[in-house]
Structure 1
């Protein structure tokens, strides 16, 4: 039986060569010359979501949207939420404030023009909002975003705010809502259960149990994410990757589709803007023709 709580299904729309772990091996200047596999993987995801009656949030790179406009429209026309993942997957700790401001404004307008929907949400590359750059929340608020899902409240060598809020909050008392990635509290420790590499690494029953406990014990939705390339075990493999990077990126790719199918079937899923509709001050309902809010001009 599906949980009565609706959990958030989110997709970080980026291709295999755009992940932060590859940035020392593949430059942004090389991206346009590499075989892009995003369309095939997105079509598979849309088919899986349709089979299970799932609506989701697609955090989309502006770089991808410019080159795959019809794909973005297919996502939006299927009733899913289009949100921003920044333009070219630059971590916030590698941008100054002005560069970040220009990036989030540019990408928001680009995605709105392509999809015909107002973009409410943002997710930083590699969850790179941390304790040193909370100013990013103020910039997102000023740029017209209603929420961010950019904080992972765990300890990690590349990102995270250990001890940060586990559930949605308003940073600095502003109007922007930050919706952190989900963790399970176990014996004083936080265990990641929001998807990505952890979902591929853990046995399915462990992930299932942690999500169930967040729903039942905390009475909160799980915020889950994955990437299109995680459903693509045949993707090209750059040379020169170290053992840690190879393990993180490629571990259990061949099992991801079957595990994701189980997850879609066993839990109730929705888009972030729908689940947090009241907190975001969005009108109801956000489905069908009423979900599409055409952008003026």
Structure 2
């Protein structure tokens, strides 16, 4: 019997509560400066948790945040976490032209590298907005000097999702890996278990069961993501939005920090670059492509 793969990547999408895609109809980018920004205190909460459990993570950071709070980015880098890009101002890739996307990813990469002095290797699209209609995006990323993307969630969802794309890391371009968010396959259907709102929605025991099942079934690393605002039940609530959006955004915010404590304690976590950009891992992924 093959050994169980227990490798897991901890990732953070560094954006504030007013920047999420679900609020974009009532949160104009031109007005963002008017909102109370809570990214400093919430990022500090995450950094404290990671330090307590000796976890190193990958932070996918919005350029808009980095430009205004460079000390937050520096603190993340100083703590030994990977600095990666989440684009500049959270525009979904499938709403941009190829030229507009190129400008966005170059701008955010340059900002983060200027602040930290470190190469930015990774990118995650806002709202996992890579799909079968955006194959050109990988060429753009490769030309910009990125080495991997984590922009695909192979599930069905009303805001995102590409269930027909591969579930595990694949070569999307000769110079670039795509690393999808993790799913659990049951009866041929992909169920989302990669964190975010599902981490707050699912009963905690179910989430841990799903993670253990994933490790038993798959010989691939598990990919988890969280937002700093998900640890902040005191965040302002300035928007008039639908009941569904309220439910998704605010559900169990008061429980997330405790759940994160237990998640960090029970599993082993690594940065994305350390897990996927080692020559041995890249060779394994390249070999797998021959069988797709």
Quickly name the TM-score band, shorter chain normalised. over 0.9
- Give, in whole Å, the separation in 1 of the partners of 2:258 and 2:281: 36
CA spacing shift, 1:229–1:280, aligned 2, 3 Å? farther
- Matched with 2:175 is 175
CA contact (8 A) 1:273 1:280 kept: no
- Give, in whole Å, the separation in 1 of the partners of 2:258 and 2:33: 31
Whether 1:106 and 2:118 are equivalent positions in the alignment is: no
Q: Which runs of 4+ in 1 moved over 3 A?
A: 279-282
- Give, in whole Å, the separation in 2 of the partners of 1:119 and 1:268: 24
- Matched with 2:83 is 82
TM-score by length of 2: 0.93
- Give, in whole Å, the separation in 1 of the partners of 2:110 and 2:96: 20
Q: How much has 1:221 moved relative to structure 2?
A: 1.2
How large is the RMSD of aligned CA atoms in angstroms? Answer: 1.4
Q: How much has 1:212 moved relative to structure 2?
A: 1.5
Whether 1:258 and 2:224 are equivalent positions in the alignment is: no
Secondary structure of 1:270's partner?
A: coil
- Give, in whole Å, the separation in 2 of the partners of 1:5 and 1:57: 18
CA contact (8 A) 1:10 1:224 kept: yes
CA contact (8 A) 1:138 1:174 kept: no
CA spacing shift, 1:137–1:79, aligned 2, 3 Å? same
Secondary structure of 1:235's partner?
A: coil
Q: How much has 1:28 moved relative to structure 2?
A: 0.6
Secondary structure of 2:8's partner?
A: strand
CA spacing shift, 1:280–1:82, aligned 2, 3 Å? farther
CA contact (8 A) 1:60 1:85 kept: yes
- Give, in whole Å, the separation in 1 of the partners of 2:147 and 2:279: 9
- Give, in whole Å, the separation in 2 of the partners of 1:121 and 1:253: 28
CA contact (8 A) 1:62 1:110 kept: yes
- Give, in whole Å, the separation in 2 of the partners of 1:244 and 1:192: 18
- Matched with 2:67 is 66
Q: How much has 1:216 moved relative to structure 2?
A: 2.2
Q: How much has 1:252 moved relative to structure 2?
A: 0.7
- Give, in whole Å, the separation in 1 of the partners of 2:57 and 2:7: 11
- Give, in whole Å, the separation in 2 of the partners of 1:260 and 1:105: 33
- Give, in whole Å, the separation in 1 of the partners of 2:89 and 2:101: 11
Q: How much has 1:219 moved relative to structure 2?
A: 2.0
TM-score by length of 1: 0.91
CA contact (8 A) 1:233 1:253 kept: yes
Whether 1:97 and 2:93 are equivalent positions in the alignment is: no
- Matched with 1:15 is 16
Secondary structure of 2:215's partner?
A: helix
Structure 1 segments unaligned to the other structure (5+ residues): 283-297
Q: How much has 1:6 moved relative to structure 2?
A: 2.3
Secondary structure of 1:155's partner?
A: coil
- Matched with 1:153 is 154
Deviations 1:34-87 (A, max 9, x none): 110000000110000000010000000000001111110000000000000000
Deviations 1:238-280 (A, max 9, x none): 2311111101100111110111111000000011001113259
CA spacing shift, 1:279–1:154, aligned 2, 3 Å? farther
CA contact (8 A) 1:146 1:280 kept: no
- Matched with 1:276 is 276
Structure 2 segments unaligned to the other structure (5+ residues): 283-292
- Matched with 1:215 is 215
CA contact (8 A) 2:5 2:218 kept: no
- Give, in whole Å, the separation in 2 of the partners of 1:144 and 1:212: 35
Secondary structure of 2:278's partner?
A: helix
Secondary structure of 2:118's partner?
A: coil
